[in-house]
Structure 1
Amino acid sequence: MDQQLQVFVTVAELKNFSRAAEKLHMTQPAVSQYIRSLEQTMGSKLLERSNKFVRLNQAGEMVYYHAKEILGLYAKMHDLIDDLTNKASGPISIGASYTFGEYVLPHVIKNMHQHYPLIEPTITIGNTSKIANLVLSHQIDVGIVEGAFHDKHLVIEPFAEDSMCIVAAPNHRLARKEGNVSVSELEKETWIVREQGSGTREVTEKMFQSIGIDPEKRLEFGSTQIIKESIAAGLGISLLSYWAVRDESARGSLSVVELNQLPVKREFSIVLRSPFQTKALNVFLSLLRAFGSESPRELE
């Protein structure tokens, strides 16, 4: 059954029998036979086929979703058994929310690669909600998310603290102001915020509530990098992580706005689904926890 599912998932993702056969090192008739056998087992057609396209029907969408989860569990089981006799090695799939994934995770991966070169990480970047859902569906081994995240089906372990700061262009009037800015001044500004489901968006909304403002002028962007570029271009201000702006702050291309209520704190958390972990994953988790115990807490 696992071979049928693997063939089916490959065809569904490539949307082509010939390309799937090539990727799987099989003949096209063999691929077709696996699909027919799976459809017979399921008692339903799973793919709509023509000379121009191959796509999932409604039943196929259901099978594809669960097939990904089953194959992920199968691979994890195999890795766990392999770990009983071998060193830390093999694949681990890591998901991280944007701030940690883009600005911190590369340094952790570099450290792991130097000491454990046989571990093969794959990285998925998304907002906190997406990463948690991938862990829930067993499509990734571990997630790193931002903010106060809760889910009764997941093991959530805070491991590092992050400082958030208001950022503006160096020539922005708030950046040039001596001393702390007032709350009323902040409310008049255009705020550039992340999308719903983002940990950064969550902490931004909490800051608005805590200081009692509700800015009318807002722009919503789906990437921290786009927000930084927009701030530098003078479009507005934003609340961003220390990690995301430390290089620009040091170079002077972005400025931190002084406010008595800042910095706002939030946590980075490890998110797991399974209580069983491969040696490779245990190594990665140890490196994350070591990073958390050593990471700086404030803007330097």
Structure 2
Amino acid sequence: MDQQLHVFVTVAEMENFSRAAEELHMTQPAVSQYIQSFERTMGTKLLERSNKFVRLNKAGEIVYHHAKEILGLYTKMHYLIDDLTNKTSGPLSIGASYTFGEYVLPHVLAKMHKKYPLIIPTITIGNTREIANLVLGHQLDVGIVEGEFKDKHLVIEPFAEDPMYLVASPKHRFAQKNGEISLSELEEETWIVRENGSGTREATEKMFRLCEMIPKHTLEFGSTQLIKESVEAGIGISLLSYWAIRKECSMGALKIINVNQLPILRKFSVVLRSPFQTKALTVFLELLRENKQAP
């Protein structure tokens, strides 16, 4: 059954029998036989076929969603058993929200590679909600998310603090001003924020509530790097993680603006679905906990 699921998922993702056969190192007739046998087992057609494409029908979408979870669990089971007798090695699928994934995770991976070169990580970057959903679906071994995330189906362990600061261009009027910045000045400024579902967006909205302010102008960007470049160019101001801005601040490209309510402290948290851990996952979590404090 696991081979049928693997063939079905590959065909669904490739949307073509020939490309799926090439990916699976099989002949096209063999792929077709697997699909026909699987559809007989399921008792219904799962794919809409034409000369130009192969697409999932409604039943196929349901089966595809669950097949991804089943294959993820099967792979995890295999490596857990393999771990019992072998040294720390094998694949490790890691998901991380943008701030941690782009600015902290590379340093953790470098240490892991030095100590455990046989571990093969694959990295998925997304916002907090996206990463949690992939862990829920058994498509990631572990996720690292930002903010006050909760889900009764997941094991969530805060492991590090992440201070959030207001930043502007060094040429911005806030950077040139001596003394406290008023609430009305903050409200009049253009704020550049992340998208809904992002931990950084959650922290920004928390700041707005603490300051009891509603900015008159906001721009929503889906990338922290794009926000930093836009702030540096003078388009607006933003609330960003220490980890994301430390290099630019040390180089003078960005300036931290002092506001009474800041920094806002949020948490980075590990997100797990299964109570069982491979050796690779165990050592990765240990390395995470060793790197929990910002310098």
Question: Amino acid of the residue matched to residue 240 of structure 1?
Answer: L
Q: Secondary structure at the match of 1:271?
A: strand
Question: Amino acid of the residue matched to residue 295 of structure 1?
Answer: A
2:51 counterpart residue number: 51
Q: Secondary structure at the match of 1:87?
A: coil
1:192 counterpart residue number: 192
Superposed, 1:53-132 pairs within 5 Å as 53-132=53-132
1:274 counterpart residue number: 274
Distance 1:137 1:19 in 2: 26
Number of matched residues? 295
1:152 counterpart residue number: 152
Distance 2:161 2:179 in 1: 26
**CA shift for structure 1 position 180:** 3.0
Query: Can you list the C-alpha shifts for 1:199-250, whole angstroms capped at 9, x where unaligned?
Result: 0000110110001111121111111011111111211111000011111101
1:295 counterpart residue number: 294
**CA shift for structure 1 position 96:** 0.3
**CA shift for structure 1 position 151:** 0.7
Question: Amino acid of the residue matched to residue 123 of structure 1?
Answer: I
1:20 counterpart residue number: 20
> If the length of structure 1 is used for normalisation, what is the TM-score?
0.97
2:169 counterpart residue number: 169
Distance 1:96 1:216 in 2: 32
Q: Secondary structure at the match of 1:133?
A: helix
2:212 counterpart residue number: 212
Query: Can you list the C-alpha shifts for 1:111-137, whole angstroms capped at 9, x where unaligned?
Result: 100110000000000000000101111
CA RMSD of aligned residues (A): 0.8
1:264 counterpart residue number: 264
Query: Can you list the C-alpha shifts for 1:40-65, whole angstroms capped at 9, x where unaligned?
Result: 11111111111111111111111110
Deviation larger for 173-182 or 131-140: 173-182
Q: Secondary structure at the match of 2:236?
A: coil
Question: Amino acid of the residue matched to residue 24 of structure 1?
Answer: L
Residue segments in structure 2 that go unaligned for 5+ positions in a row: none
Distance 1:265 1:19 in 2: 49
Structure 1 runs of 4+ with >3 Å offset: none
Q: Secondary structure at the match of 1:48?
A: strand
1:181 counterpart residue number: 181
Question: Amino acid of the residue matched to residue 59 of structure 2?
Answer: A
Deviation larger for 121-130 or 183-192: 183-192
Q: Secondary structure at the match of 1:192?
A: strand
**CA shift for structure 1 position 262:** 1.1
1:245 counterpart residue number: 245
Query: Can you list the C-alpha shifts for 1:156-205, whole angstroms capped at 9, x where unaligned?
Result: 00000001000111111011112332222111101111111000000110
Distance 1:27 1:57 in 2: 24
Q: Secondary structure at the match of 2:291?
A: helix
Percent identity, please.
74
Q: Secondary structure at the match of 1:280?
A: helix
Distance 1:53 1:230 in 2: 41
